[in-house]
Structure 1
Amino acid sequence: MAGRDWRKLDESDVRVRPGRGTRPRSKRRPEHADASTALVTVVDRGRWTCALEHDPSRVVTAMRARELGRTPIVVGDTVGIVGDVSGRPDTLARIVRVDERASVLRRTADDTDPYERIVVANAEQLLIVTALADPPPRTGFIDRCLVACYAGGLEPVLCLTKADLASPDELLAKYAELAVPAIVTRYDEDSAELAERLKGRVSALVGHSGVGKSTLVNRLVPDAALATGVVSSVGKGRHTSVTAIALPLPDGGWVVDTPGVRSFGLAHVTPDDIVRSFEEFGEMAEECPSGCGHLGPPDDPGCMLDSTVEDGTASEGRLVSLRRLLASKAGLETPGLGQQT
């Protein structure tokens, strides 16, 4: 300021540096019309492993684009990716789009946990893998998986393993009224029926530890162990047995192997969600009192579902099966086969 009279200065002599945020942010986002479509096969702490739609054998590691914010991206999601999609080591692409999901398999840690965990997206069917012996079948777990399927838009399939140790007849009879497809397998034989059921479809497998799920996956995908190792090295080192992984089937389609679970919480599912999956009860359920759990007397004395059996709209067996699922969701004891949890 030396040599200048400060009294002769005015605001025109001051250069004001614009601060942050003075320029309005545009709400327009890039369309990314050139994005490659891919399937998310593994999620590992801020990195997503994706298989390109036009070349499923090419594995690309990607990060979530900034414009997606905290948009959840899970195994089974169909996404758009840009950047380096060569799949070469040490390359990284960006996920810029997450397509609408056709189905979602959700669970919570328990029935009091408000936080939903998405197990897999866009699976067409869920194979509920249950051993007929060693360990014994847990019908409560099966029932809860069925509820999750009905609520999430997946087709349930019973996959009964270890038929060389016990007969499946009693367990199959228990679910006959629900018309759930069932496949029975043995440890000492490959199952052509199972391979045909999975061919060309996206299927998820869920089951307790020790029921033979890993044995099934290794038979369906001969290089499953190799693929798992490759994905582990691409990610940040986490062993993939603790998370879901989508594996390509030799004859087309994908199988999503999920980690063994101890419980299948359904805090996010309401009784009405379950009833809506049974078309013959849907209309009459609307006549039930508000807050009805549809369990019938004495728990829900005003429930109208019994009238569907009286007028011939539904069979008594279907109603019994429906209420067994509702009771399982409510955490109530139900008579049945094997362990309930």
Structure 2
Amino acid sequence: MSWRHLDEGDVRVRPNRRGSRPRTKERPAHADAVTGFVVGIDRGRYTCLVRAPRAQGGGEHTLVAMKAREIGRSRIVVGDRVALVGDTSGRPDTLARIVRVQPRASVLRRTADDADPVERVIVANADLLVIVTALADPEPRPRMVDRCLVAAYDAGLVPLLALTKADLVDPLAFLRTYAPLDVDYVVTARQGGTIRGLDDLRGRLAGRVSVLVGHSGVGKSTLVNALVPGAGRVTGEVNDVTGRGRHTSTNVVALRLPDDRGWVIDTPGVRSFGLAHIGPDRIVEHFPDLSPGTDGCPRGCTHDEPECALDAWVAGGHAGPAGPARLESLRRLLQSRSAAEEW
């Protein structure tokens, strides 16, 4: 076809996209941004709790926000404290923008498995890691507990064992395994239509941001519903064939305890808790009675080999009377890093 037969409808002209204004790397300061607390995430929309200024009464309300472009690929998780601009009224059909994520005081993370180096942040700014495990139905999995303890130590969180279903099995044998680690614990059991030990758990959670972690079927959502009336977390039964719990909770959510006594963050049941991002030396640091003994270890020591200097350190009495039991517990935690197992 000759160009003589073409008209303006046959030619597409691309507009000049450069424009007349030069690009700048400067970004707005958003000095008028309000601070929010991320309590839930659903398909790229973030539910945030914000407090109005005192001049406006100081009340609280929730709003829905999206991530602003300047955030980039940075991930926002439940527990984050963020800066919000736009329509922060919280009225229906309004949408604010998250323009900043404030520095995190703590980060609980895991990897998909022990061969995956990519860290996945679970929650931010938590104080307490509540490791929920059933004493029976399903059977307890100590390796899962060990891995959660390692993750707590690495994140700087205080660990707490929450043992459920004590009406079925005496908890003493299980607790004896963790006695050398001096881990705090609570024991709960069903008693008629109530849960015995719930007040003890409330006392541990008071004034803290606590995240509950455990595999499916251990009664985690049942505890949350008892702690926060009206939470409505779905509970499930244990599979009769596999002996494992069915997944019920599917998202991470932060819930305020009654009388403003703290927060609990419920997480979906997990079947793997990869620790590829945590080196052995970072675990040993949380054993102040043992860590000085690693000075004589060979380079690259895994602290679970014949050349490890910790054996001589403990044999010399430097770690005190509990040294042998503490060393055994430390090595059990270290071994849990490389024990690929589905929970």
TM more than 0.5:
yes
CA contact (8 A) 1:39 1:53 kept: no
Equivalent residues in 2 for 1:140-159, closer than 5 Å: 140-159=143-162
Shift of 1:85: 1.4
| Mapped pair 1:289 → 2:298 | yes
SS of the residue aligned with 2:112?
Answer: coil
- The farther-off stretch of 20-29 and 133-142 is 20-29
Contact in 2 for aligned 1:39/1:79 (Cα 8 Å): yes
Q: Is the 8 A contact 1:103 1:124 kept in 2?
A: yes
What SS does the corresponding residue of 2:296 show, helix, strand or coil?
coil
Deviation at 1:169, TM superposition (A): 0.3
Deviation at 1:310, TM superposition (A): 2.3
Q: Secondary structure at the match of 2:190?
A: coil
Match of 1:258 in 2: 267
Partner of 1:47: 45
2:120 matched residue in structure 1:
117
Aligned to 1:204: 211
Counterpart CA distance in 1 for 2:295 and 2:108 is 26
CA distance in structure 2 between the aligned counterparts of 1:174 and 1:76, rounded to whole angstroms: 32
Using a 3 Å threshold, how does the CA distance of structure 1 residues 170 and 56 change in structure 2: closer, same or farther?
farther
- Give the superposition deviation at 1:268: 1.0
Q: Which string of whole-angstrom CA distances, capped at 9 and with x for unpartnered residues, describes residues 315-341 of structure 1?
A: 1111111001001112189xxxxxx94
Matched with 1:75 is: 78
Q: How many residues align?
A: 304
1:54-78 per-residue CA deviation (whole Å, 9 max, x = no partner) reads: 5785211101111111111111111
1:28 to 2, 15, 26: 26
- Distance in 2 separating the partners of 1:274 and 1:137: 23
Q: Is the 8 A contact 1:199 1:251 kept in 2?
A: no
**Which residue of the other structure, out of 315, 324, 329, is the alignment partner of 1:310?**
315
Structure 1 segments of 4 or more deviating over 6 A? none
Could you tell me which amino acid in structure 1 is paired with residue 113 of structure 2? Answer: D
Residue 64 of structure 2 corresponds to residue 61 of structure 1: yes
String of CA shifts for 1:117-157, please: whole Å, max 9, x gaps: 11111110110000011111110100000011111111110
- Aligned pairs for 1:1-341 within 5 A: 20=18, 24-53=22-51, 58-188=61-191, 189-190=195-196, 191-225=198-232, 241-252=249-260, 253-295=262-304, 300-314=305-319, 315-331=323-339, 341=343
Out of 274-283 and 140-149, give the one that drifted further.
Answer: 274-283
Q: 1:312 & 1:23 partners in 2: Cα distance?
A: 73
CA displacement 1:266-305 (0-9 Å, x = unmatched): 111111111111112223324322221111xxxx222111
Q: Counterpart amino acid of 1:214? A: S
Q: Deviations over 1:196-250 (max 9, x none)?
A: 11112100001111111111000011010289xxxxxxxxxxx993121111111
- In the alignment, what sits opposite 2:244? none
Contact 1:129 1:158 in 2 (8 A): yes
Name the SS of the counterpart of 1:80 in structure 2: strand
Cα distance in structure 2, aligned partners of 1:294 and 1:21: 62
* 1:200–1:251 CA contact under 8 A, matched in 2: no
Higher RCO (Cα < 8 Å, 6 or more apart):
1
Distance 1:172 1:132 in 2: 10
CA drift at 1:18: 7.7
The residue type paired with residue 158 of structure 1 is: L
Question: Distance in 1 between the 2:99 and 2:248 partners?
Answer: 25
Secondary structure of 1:187's match?
Answer: strand
Q: Distance in 1 between matches of 2:295 and 2:225?
A: 46
The answer to whether the 8 Å contact 2:209/2:263 transfers is: yes
- Residue type matched to 1:26 in 2? T
C-alpha distance in 1, partners of 2:19/2:281? 47
CA RMSD, 1 decimal? 2.4
Residues 1:306 and 1:49: Cα distance change in structure 2 (over 3 Å) = same
Q: Structure 2 vs 1, CA of residues 332 and 308 (structure 1 numbering), >3 Å: closer, same or farther? A: farther
Amino acid at match of 1:268: H
Q: Return 310-319 or 160-169, whichever deviates more.
A: 310-319
